[in-house]
Amino acid sequence: MLFIDTDPGVDDALAILMAHARAPGVAGLGIAAGNVGLHHTTANALKLVELMGVSTPVFPGAPQPLVRRAADAAFVHGADGFGDTGYLPARRAAHNEHAALALLRLSHAHAGELVLVALGPLTNLALALSLDPQLPSRVARLVVMGGAVTGQGNASVAAEFNFRFDPEAAHIVFSRWPRFDLVDWELTLRHALDFERFEHWLAGGDARAAFFAAISRKARAVNRARRHPGIIVADALAMAVALRPELIINAEERAVAIELDGGLTRGATVVDWQQRRTGAVASARIVLAVDQPGFEQLVAAALGARTG
């Protein structure tokens, strides 16, 4: 059973489609502010759930980071977070239970079998953890998309967007969660999706592919303009790791800290690669390589397309 904390966001949308196309069940979507404001990320999640025709509950979370405000990513995802397509809003409403409280409740209801996937800033997870430090003991697995493990960020020189947006939240989760899988920005760049192959999936897919083609048009143009090696979908890669952990080809367990004060480095992931005897716990399993065909099969299936 999955619980997905997310700031949809275009790549979040693909990850959510992947989860519903394959997972044993999605207990809920916890919504964060990040790519764009909470109003839009919540509306986008509701639209996706309606498009898929599923009853997955949507729980809005924190409207801003824990301590300091941060810039959003509307320049990639569009002002509304879904490519400014002007889609007809979903008819259904979000639940009036806070994402952090819903996560705690569902961690009891599905104790020991919940796979928690964090695809946005970690504000809601940090709040849940602060309310109940025992949360990790009830969660089977945590997969986090975030960070830049050798300091090659996207939101700043050194920091990746999710952790740059709420560094204090990332610090709380990283310092208190005993072990988790980390899918960082640099891994995502190594697992870009070929532009032409991706366009083929969009053209040959179903209504999900048509919707994703529309909401991702702006983001795909940014990918090309930035001369990325292909379509970069960080959250989709993290979801592939969550859905099929056997796709992990290589990973290293290391202690990772979050920089909170650096003028140039706030939000950066500081990895103890040499495993100095600092006493810090090597709680992060840093994923370093993923089976690309297996990843692509999950993406294509989520769009109703075939990889062959």
Contact residues: ligand RIB, CB under 6 A: 7, 9, 11-12, 34-35, 73, 119-120, 145, 154, 160-162, 185, 234-235
Q: How many residues does the chain have?
A: 308
Q: Tell the smallest beta-carbon distance from residue 30 to Ca ion (Å).
A: 12
Tell me the CA distances in angstroms from 66 to 26, 42, 60, 167, 288, one per residue in order. Answer: 27, 19, 15, 9, 30
Q: Which is nearer to Ca ion, 156 or 307 (CB)?
A: 156
Q: Is there binding between residue 5 and Ca ion (CB under 5 A)?
A: no
Alpha helices, DSSP H, located in the chain: 10-22, 38-52, 74-77, 99-109, 123-131, 135-138, 161-165, 167-176, 185-190, 195-204, 207-215, 217-225, 234-243, 292-302
Q: What is the dihedral of CA 92, 95, 100, 102, to 10 degrees?
A: -110
Tokens of 113: 């079998």
Q: Tell the smallest beta-carbon distance from residue 162 to ligand RIB (Å).
A: 5
Q: Which of 2, 4, 5, 12 binds Ca ion (CB under 5 A)?
A: 12
290 exposure class (CB count in 10 Å sphere: 0-12, 13-18, 19+) = buried
Q: Which of 49, 104, 119, 286 binds Ca ion (CB under 5 A)?
A: 119
Residue number of the CB closest to ligand RIB reads 161
Q: Which is nearer to ligand RIB, 4 or 145 (CB)?
A: 145
Whether residue 286 contacts residue 149, with contact meaning beta carbons closer than 8 Å, is answered with yes
Q: Tell the smallest beta-carbon distance from residue 112 to ligand RIB (Å).
A: 27
Of residues 233 through 252, those in contact with Ca ion by CB under 5 A are 235
Q: Which is nearer to ligand RIB, 33 or 46 (CB)?
A: 33
Q: Which is nearer to Ca ion, 120 or 267 (CB)?
A: 120
Task: Give me the residues that bind Ca ion (CB under 5 A), please.
Answer: 7, 9, 12, 119-120, 235
